[in-house]
Amino acid sequence: MQVDRVRLNILDLPIDAVSRQEAAGTVADALSGGDAMAIVTINAEMAMAARLDPRLAATIRRAGLVLPDGSGVVWAARRRGVKVKKIAGVDFIHEIAEQCIRAGRGMFLLGAGPGVADEAARALADRHPGLAVVGTADGYFSPEAEAELCERIREARPGALLVALGVPRQEYWISDHQQELDVPVCMGIGGSLDVLSGRVRRAPPWMVSAHLEWLFRLIKEPWRWRRMASALPAFVLAALASERQERYTGPGR
Ligand code: UDP
């Protein structure tokens, strides 16, 4: 499915204004012989990290699909008059699973603590009959074990590789290895394997629809407070400042 995507530029980073269905269509394209692509799910925290980390910014700019995964980025996109809906990485995994089944390709899960990816694989297979999880590996491998891990992934020939190593390591890892692994679709998924395995609880649906998932996470994982508390207001201020500047100089790239 060919999709005319609106790609927004917010703080010099791309954000794709796509529906879930359109995003799934680009995954289907990649799985059926189109260009391989990395999927990034971006939120305010990641956007602010990218301002200080040129390697992360470049990796996001090269991604085939950049999904808005946070209330801050959705707000910034809507201020530009584009109606964008949040697409959380942890939800989009299920679209990828369905597209893998349709394309007759498997999925490989990499990351999180020992045993977590296996539990997540079982949960995914239960929810998506016909899904082949063709391999799993935890995310605490040594640099010496990396070559062997890459060999395992290559031999498993997955259509999609989900990488849960945390930001920005998972984005770097995908960017460094996707080509040699020859996997059509790779996505960084943060803590999603912990959620899929049932070890970490997700916010209740009412909090998700009230855009309060960040608050739930903050209550559950208070050590995130410093990182999150500084990122969201800083993102809002930076987005407003760049809007003001664009009014004088015209939109950026
Ligand atoms: N992780 C890992 N290897 C590491 C560091 C982290 O596999 O060396 C995993 C960790 O167990 C967790 C995920 O990466 O499952 C990161 O989750 P987090 O919620 O911190 O992601 P982020 O906030 O970066 O999206």
pLDDT digits (tens, 9 = 90+) for 24-70: 999 999 999 999 999 999 999 999 999 999 999 999 999 999 999 99
In ligand 1, which atom is closest to the CA atom of 165? 14
List, as own/partner pairs, every contact residues 122-128 make where C-beta atoms lie below 8 angstroms and the sequence separation is at least 24, other chains included. 123/196, 123/197, 123/198, 124/93, 124/97, 124/196, 127/94, 127/97, 128/94, 128/97, 128/98, 128/101
How far, in Å, from the CA of 34 to the mean position of ligand 1?
Answer: 30
Residue nearest to atom 21 of ligand 1 (CA): 190
**pTM confidence score:** 0.94
Q: What is the pLDDT of residues 143-201, one digit of tens each?
A: 999 999 999 999 999 999 999 999 999 999 999 999 999 999 999 999 999 999 999 99
| Mean pLDDT (the chain, rounded) | 93
Model pLDDT, residue 147: 97
- Residue 169 CA to ligand 1 center (angstroms) comes to 9
* Residue 244 or 131, more confident: 131
The two structure tokens encoding residue 87: 């697409």
CA of 117 to the centre of ligand 1 (A): 12
Atom of ligand 1 nearest to the CA of 221: 19
> Does the Cβ of 140 fall within 6 Å of ligand 1?
yes
- Checking if the pLDDT of 1 tops 70, the result is no
> What is the whole-number distance in angstroms between the Cα of residue 194 and the centre of ligand 1?
9
Confidence of residue 211 (pLDDT cuts 50, 70, 90): confident
Asked whether the beta carbons of 31 and 97 are under 8 A apart, the reply is no
